[in-house]
Each structure stands twice: as structure tokens, then as C-alpha cells.
Structure 1
Amino acid sequence: MVTIVDYGVGNIGSILNMIDKVGGRAKATGQLDELLAADKILLPGVGSFDNAMARLSSLGLVDVLKQRASEGATVFGICLGMQLLAESSEEGQLKGLGLIPGRVRRFSFDGENRNLRIPHMGWNRVAAAREHALCRRLDEARFYFVHSYYFDCADPADVLLRTSYGNSFASGVNRENIVGVQFHPEKSHRFGMQLLSNFLEL
């Protein structure tokens, strides 16, 4: 059972549908007791970093997520949800969850890349930086992105997936039982289905 964090910030309906399509079971909840009992937690997110962290804090979910992460539950952040795993963001002033050391930074391009548009939007290739169960059967994978900020890991060993947009950036992160992806698997057709299938097997 995948427990999706429902805190009013995220594309929950599409994620529920995609998990169902690949044969998984999922429920969305903001109830503390349900999240405290969850072994596989999916943290979605769209919009601004501070707004999302403020919502999590107001609902009492920050401490719950940190507790379950420390207890070994799998926590999977998607898009802004991945950025919330960081310690902080250039987009706002609030602290992140701090589950993976690093800071979220805004894309900045110069030289031959100065005309690249921000946000990075559309389909792009994703390559595994190292072996991990989440990356199985994803050779030559392409995923759908919409973002202006990227996760700058403090430890390069925490980078799981890489994508090139002007420069190479971390499109997936992982430390122990914490994982995250910058793209939208629920909008990425067969590649997204494969990635969510892999997540179900973690």
C-alpha cells in the first residue's frame, strides 16, 4: 500500500490513477495516524517551496515525515516533493525536511546556454547515475519535466539520476530509504509506469 501525503499541494488524482494502472494500491491522506502507520509514503508537490513547507508544518506533517523516515519507511518525493527533501531552497526562506543534505537552486544560464528557457519544461532524457532498484528497466528513458529549480546534493553519492539541460543536474536523488525524482512520472506514459512499478517493489 502506497500512502500519498494529501496536504493540498500536488497532483494526487493522476498519481492515484497511475499507481492503479500498474497494479498497485494507494490511498491519499493527511491523517497523522495513517501516515505514522505507513511503510511506503509518496510526497507529491507543485507550486512554491515555502507554501508547501508551510502547509506540511500547519498540518503537523513535518515531524511525522521525519519520524517515519528515521524509522525506515520508504519516502518518495515527486517534483516539488523531491525538492522538499532538501535542507533549504533559493526559492524561499523556510527550512526543508532535511532528509537528504543539499540545497535547491534556481537554474541560471550564461554563454552558449543563455537563451535556454526557464522553467525547464517538456520531455527530456534521464540516465541512472548508479545502480538502484528504482532505475530498473529504464534504459533510454524520457520523462516530463516542469521546473525552474534543481536539487544540488551536498554529497554527489546521493545523486541517483541525471539529466542535461544547459548543464547536468540531479533529476533523481537517493539516500538509504529516501528517494526523489524531479520529473512527473504520472505524466510520463510508459516510462512513468515503469518507474512507479519499480517504486512499488522497493
Structure 2
Amino acid sequence: MIRIVIVDDHAVVRSGLNTLLHGKHEMVVVGEAADGDEAIRKAEELKPDVVLMDLSMPHGKDGLSATTIIKKALPDTSVLILTMHDDEEYLFRAIHSGASGYVLKSAPHEELLTAIQSVAAGDAYLYPTATKRLMGEYLERIKRGENAGSYESLSEREKEILGWTAKGYSNKEIAESLFISVKTVETHKSHLMEKLGLKSRPELVKYAMKRGLLNFD
């Protein structure tokens, strides 16, 4: 049986999913949670095969933060994001948080069942238009001259400065924090921008976000 924990702040949604999933295709709902903190506790207690995770929950940790913690504690548990957010930013953040799949709440029931089966088997699942977006992003990176190993080509100092810059720190603030000169920060920043094929700060922030370098807690 595929053992599932449902996480959503709306009781009616949890109830509907429980009714839909319980007993379907060898699936069983073993627990429910109303926020990220409860989801972490339930996951650690029940060790399910799949956590069906909402993203936006007003109390406690959000779905992304909970996903990151659950994956660190339970690497064999797959997290499937079920959300209303058809948004590129949420999609990439979910992937970098460790989620194995991403499905919209507007999806047909059969698609959700297929997604659960896929992530339970160790595969990834993205709804069709999300796959198209990922491919588009990949092709755009190729056009910019950015390859899969670009981040690894950065020096440790360049990686540090990338993270600080993306979080909004000025060159002066970065220099003071790292005990280096402002000119050295500017040089490192210039080199990392060139290596990554980036031309502006917004591009740098977007790149850092997709690499999971920002803390969104």
C-alpha cells in the first residue's frame, strides 16, 4: 500500500482528498495535518511513502519550508506538491526544496492518482505545462551560454558573493561581512556574472532563487 499524509489548512479539502484517495490503487491515508509544523511531526511519526503538501498555509511553516525539513529527515519519503499556484516561481522553489512532484488542485482526479503513484515509485511528476516551462528555461539557459555545471565552476568566494548579492546586500556590506575590500567584491561579482551569463541584478536574483540559494522562511 502507498501510505499517504495529507497536508492542507482547509479541513474540507483534507476530507475530500481522504475520500478520493483512501483505498484507490492500493493507497491509504494514514494521517492529516493542517500546517507545516504538524506535517513535519506527522511525517516523522508515521514515515509515509508520500506527503501530499499544500504550499500556502497561514499558520506555522509553509509547504516549502516543511518539505525541506521532511526531505532532510526522511529522504525516502516523497513530497508531492498539490497547489492552486500555477506559477513559475513556486514551481522552481518547490523543486529546489526537494519535492518530487507538482500538481495543480484544478487537475483531474486521475492525474493526481497518477502523480502519487509516480512519486511513490521514486519518479518525478510535473503537470504538462510545468514540464514545458522547465524545458523553456533550460533552452533559455543554453541560449545565454549557461550550462548545468556553471554554478560548480564558481569559486567558493564567488558562490558566497552570489548569495549575499541575491539577498540584497550592497558591495560595501558584503565587503564588511567577508573582511575583504569593496573592489575585491566587485571583481568577484563581475567574474561570477560572466561565468553564469548574467547581465543584471534581477537575472542574478532569479538564478539564485532557482538554485535554491535564498532562504524563503
Instruction: Please indicate the TM-score interval, normalised by the length of the shorter structure.
Output: 0.3 to 0.5
Higher strand share: 1
Q: Choose 1 or 2 for highest CA Rg.
A: 2
What TM-score does the superposition give when structure 2 sets the normalisation length? 0.34
Higher relative contact order (CA 8 A, sep 6+): 1
State the TM-score, normalized to the length of structure 1.
Answer: 0.36
Q: Which has the higher helix share?
A: 2
